Amino acid sequence: PLPIAVLVSGSGSNLQSIIDRIEEGVLDAEIRLVVSNRPGAFGLERARKHGIPTKVLTHTDFPSRETFDAAMAEAIAAAGVDRRGLVVMAGFMRIVTPVFLSAFPHRVVNIHPALLPAFPGVHGQADAAAYGVKISGCTVHFVDEKMDHGPVIIQAAVPCLDGEDGDALGPRILKLEHRVYPQAIQWVAEDRLTVCGRHVELRVSGRPRAEQP
Per-residue H/E/C for 40-109: CCHHHHHHHHCCCCEEECCHHHCCCHHHHHHHHHHHHHHCCCCCCCEEEECCCCCCCCHHHHCCCCCCEE
Binding residue ranges for (6R)-10-formyltetrahydrofolate: 65, 93-96, 110
Gap between the Cα atoms of 117 and 139, Å rounded: 9
Active-site residue set: 112
By CB under 6 A, tell whether 150 contacts ligand GAR: no
Residue range at the interface with ligand GAR (CB under 6 A); choices 9-17, 160-168, 188-196, 197-205: 9-17
Binding mask 164-193 for ligand GAR (x = CB under 6 A): ----------x--x----------------
Torsion of CA 205, 208, 211, 213, to 10 degrees: 80
By CB under 6 A, tell whether 127 contacts ligand GAR: no
Compare residues 177 and 191 and give the one whose CB is closer to ligand GAR. Answer: 177
Residues 35-54 that bind ligand GAR (CB under 6 A): 43
| Binding residues for ligand GAR (CB under 6 A) | 8, 10-14, 43, 90-91, 111-113, 122, 124, 148, 174, 177
